[in-house]
Structure 1
Amino acid sequence: MAPPECLFDHGDELGEGPVWDTRQQRLLWVDILAGRLLRAAPQPAAPVEVLEFGRPLGCAVPHVDGSTWLALSDGVWRLAAGAAQPTPIAQPPRAVHGPQHRFNDGKCDALGRFWLGTTLLDEAPGGGRLYCLDLDGQLHQVLDGITVSNGLGWSPDNRTFYYIDSPTRRVQAFDFDLASGQLGRGRTLIDFGEQPGVPDGLAVDSEGALWIAHWDGYRLSRWSAEGVLLAWVELPVARVTSCAFYGARLEQLLITTARVGLDDSARQAQPLAGRSFRLDPGVTGLAVSACRVRVPDHPQESA
């Protein structure tokens, strides 16, 4: 593979959660702690539209109705097309999600459910959870005892759900029933072991392989569905955060990065930290569905 190339002249503190909006033919991603949603056409040096929400924004996904659904610090919100401000959809119960929490990575399954996870602001062990916003607009807790809920995705046959709790340095694989949205037996698919950094975001390609971002590892790696390391590509920045396939055939890969937490010397040594990169991966991606959750009559707090 050729080395990744910088795609946009825009830097993020904590760029994350890239997604390809097929209907609008544009890329979406977030700058989490800055509370920014970013949108751009997939051309080098294209202008980047920046929307600011004034609080942490863990992830954003396009909806089939043309809106964008946001995982803001206190719950899921809907930003209608052309609207300046979002409206609330659902929030976790206050007993388990307060001002010390924020949402992190999220993605939609093949039926359009919105899966998204949380972490404590100080990333204290066990304080996060994984949730699923079902098609009826109800938010359900799926997993607890999570530290930093991160990358997630599904196998091409939708029978396996992949999930990363970053500090564990493992990628978990769960049996998955698409019809019900239920997780079954879980197992460790990948143990990072001697790999540099910790696993962060992920994407799945059309061959069923996983592309995993290495936070503090200067690389993006590709793994088989059996957990075998197939390839990796080096980047000129340490904090590689996530990736997403895009383009007419999903033949390109967008890679997001971060500069948050880097001291002055590290920032000088990594002038491209926080930029987004383009990679020709040599394989096409697996399409990620848009959100299909019904807009509820009233905002919901999960039970």
Structure 2
Amino acid sequence: MPGTSTTPRIEVAFAARDRLGETPIWCDRTQRLWWVDIEDPTLHCLDPVTGVHWSEAHEGQYLGSCGLHRDGGLVLARDLSLVRRRDDGRLDQLAEVESGIDNRLNDGRVDARGRLWIGTMDNALHRPSGSLYRVDPDGTVMRQFGGVIVSNGIAFSPDGRTLHFTDTRRYISWAFDLDLDEGTLRNRRVFADFTQGRDRPDGACVDQDGCLWMAIFAGGRIVRLTPDGRIDRTVVLPVTNPTCLCFGGADLSTLFVTTARKFLSEQQLAAEPLAGSLLAIHGLGRGLPEHRFGP
């Protein structure tokens, strides 16, 4: 296993039982963490200081991801549509990204100009029917490319000019040059190739040093990749299925990791009481504030 293996302090931030916990995102305005359970469509919110947890069930089959909105509230990916959830709980339709296809929305992230980059994926996990999209603040949806099986790992470099994108079931993460003024991508290149070991690169985030932290689903670990794509740090976790991660806390020095119970046998679940929980890891560096969707 490449990179230095470390055992930092790992805590349980919240003992959830998420079937597919995903896309944690830290709100610096409220000092709270948001995340979703995709397949038991639930929105979670946690105040790590007080320990107060709140959750909200959603209609539809999937709640794919969430992001922050510039005017307050969240952007939620529900099945193949995007909605804005206001602070009072009201929902407004933003955009229908796809229709008439056995896909769903998955990982997404907002860039420095307030645009949402989000991917779709095949519900059967093997057909290349997904795509990457750019969604502008006015709701305009622009398809970037297709041929995606499971879209994941969307993250931006500290200067906002590199976009990372992963296809978990192709076992590859790519990097693109992002023109922030035009909102266009070019120079697609392989950033990290996991095909030899068939590791499943999942959600990702970038730290202040420009390194990419990535969850390895079914691999029981998270890794840090340097800007040139080299794994230089590995953290072994007490769960098989880490899914996504983000830095949070008052100084953005806590790495929150969502996890999943999906695909685990009854024996594995009995041996992994923390599967499906939200983990908090300390001492791994600091992150960057999340951008917000909107003009």
TM-score interval, smaller chain = over 0.9
1:233 aligns with 2:235: yes
2:48 — aligned with what?
Answer: 42
**1:131 offset after TM fit, Å?**
1.1
Q: How does 1:17-166 map to 2 (within 5 A)?
A: 17-43=23-49, 46-55=51-60, 56-83=62-89, 85-94=90-99, 97-98=100-101, 100-166=102-168
1:301 — aligned with what?
Answer: none
**1:250 offset after TM fit, Å?**
1.0
Q: How does 1:197-276 map to 2 (within 5 A)?
A: 197-276=199-278
| Residues 167-188 of structure 1: CA deviation (Å, up to 9, x unaligned) | 1111101111111110001110
| Residues 247-266 of structure 1: CA deviation (Å, up to 9, x unaligned) | 22211110110001211111
AA of the residue aligned to 1:260: K
Stretches of structure 2 lacking an aligned partner (at least 5 in a row): 1-6
AA of the residue aligned to 1:144: G
DSSP-derived class of the 2:270 partner: helix
2:3 — aligned with what?
Answer: none
Stretches of structure 1 lacking an aligned partner (at least 5 in a row): 294-303
2:14 to 2, 5, 8: 8
CA distance in 2, matches of 1:107, 1:129: 15
Query: Does structure 1 conserve the Cα–Cα contact (< 8 Å) formed by 2:82 and 2:94?
Result: yes
Q: For this pair of structures, how many residues does the alignment match?
A: 288
CA distance in 2, matches of 1:217, 1:233: 11
Query: Does structure 2 conserve the Cα–Cα contact (< 8 Å) formed by 1:11 and 1:276?
Result: no
CA distance in 2, matches of 1:134, 1:209: 27
Query: Does structure 2 conserve the Cα–Cα contact (< 8 Å) formed by 1:150 and 1:201?
Result: yes
Query: Does structure 2 conserve the Cα–Cα contact (< 8 Å) formed by 1:4 and 1:277?
Result: yes
DSSP-derived class of the 1:4 partner: strand
**1:195 offset after TM fit, Å?**
5.2
| Structure having the larger proportion of residues in strand | 2
CA distance in 2, matches of 1:193, 1:137: 36
Go from structure 1 to structure 2 and tell me whether the alpha carbon gap of 1:193 and 1:93 turns closer, same or farther (over 3 Å shift): closer
| Residues 53-105 of structure 1: CA deviation (Å, up to 9, x unaligned) | 1221100112121121111003101111112x4221100243xx53x221111
DSSP-derived class of the 1:7 partner: strand
**1:117 offset after TM fit, Å?**
1.0
**1:11 offset after TM fit, Å?**
2.1
CA distance in 2, matches of 1:109, 1:115: 7
CA RMSD in angstroms, aligned pairs only: 1.5
- After TM superposition, the score normalised by the length of structure 2 is 0.93
Query: Which stretches of structure 1, 4 residues or more, deviate above 6 A after TM superposition?
Result: none
**1:196 offset after TM fit, Å?**
7.1
